[in-house]
Amino acid sequence: MHEILENFGPGQRILDLGSGAGSFPSSFGPFIAIRADLDHPSTPAQNFAQADAARLPFADRAFDAVISNHSLEHFHDLAGSLSEIGRVLKPTGALYISVPDASTFADRLYRWLARGGGHVNPFTSAQGLAATIERATHLRHVQTRTLCAALSYLNRRNPRICGPRRFLLVGGGTEFSLHLFTYFARLSDRLFGTRLGVYGWALYFGNFPVAVDNDIWSNVCIRCGSGAQSEWLRHVNAVRRRFFLQVYRCPSCGTSNLFSEDRHYRRLSDVRAQRPGKPQGYN
């Protein structure tokens, strides 16, 4: 979402929709960030509005950009929510939406562990979803980026999403078990073209002052979930060799992670992102 946020200045307004207390820090830019969610966040949030995404309490064309970061899959009235996004967003505005791909191992595991996890819209076609959003918001689809997984939602240093019995079946949420998953998922994807390390998509709509980068970032932190570009990690000398493996420290939280080259993921054809299909693919 940084491609959007870094280009807005004082006085411009960004709607962070379905974000709880926020999907990005308030200090990220000089713009005005408005948070909106159906449930009130457990931690204090500036400029928070408790609202249904399908009935937003904002004027027409009130925002320069809308961020919907892993929230669209939770909206019960998907059509109404997309219509509202189009209403409150300026015609010259930008829209960022990220969603999980319900066909991936990472999202299937999440929904099994969390008994659904509130995912009422299991998307399985990025192309179909993009077409639906274009029709509802009248914003041009600019780009789609594939998102990689690190199963950070399992990390027991983070809040748990399920009971201890199910957790034990997937390694108990230890960081060692997450490192093992990362290693074998990246290896399988590279050698056999599987998508074990893929989680979902980020979709960009509207107007952008700079080109949107659609490169896949395969290095995702097992603790905080932050992604980093492999070339940038090498450029800042963050990559180190430990025995026969390469590792890096997460720039956001400092956790050690296994390092992988993004170029291996560029060679993978993301069939689900290209295949026409229904925007809501129920399994």
User: Could you read off the pLDDT of 108-152 as tens digits, one per residue?
Assistant: 999 988 888 889 999 999 999 999 999 999 999 999 999 999 899
Question: Which pLDDT value is given to residue 279?
Answer: 40
Give me the percent of the chain exceeding a pLDDT of 90: 63
Whether the predicted pLDDT of 3 surpasses 70 = yes
Is residue 28 very low, low, confident or very high in pLDDT (cuts 50, 70, 90)? Answer: confident
94-111: per-residue pLDDT in tens?
999 999 999 999 999 999
CATH class of 1-101+117-146+198-213: alpha beta
Question: Which pLDDT value is given to residue 41?
Answer: 83
Of residues 89 and 118, more confidence is placed in: 89
Sheet holding 245-249, edge to edge: 239-242, 245-249, 256-258
144-156: per-residue pLDDT in tens?
999 999 899 889 8
Of residues 172 and 147, more confidence is placed in: 147
The tokens for 237 are: 């000398």
Whether the predicted pLDDT of 7 surpasses 80 = yes
Question: Which pLDDT value is given to residue 210?
Answer: 77
- By CB atoms closer than 10 A (0-12, 13-18, 19+), residue 90 is middle
Question: Which pLDDT value is given to residue 177?
Answer: 93
239-281: per-residue pLDDT in tens?
999 988 999 999 989 999 999 999 888 765 444 444 444 444 3
> Domain boundaries in the chain?
1-101+117-146+198-213, 150-196+215-271
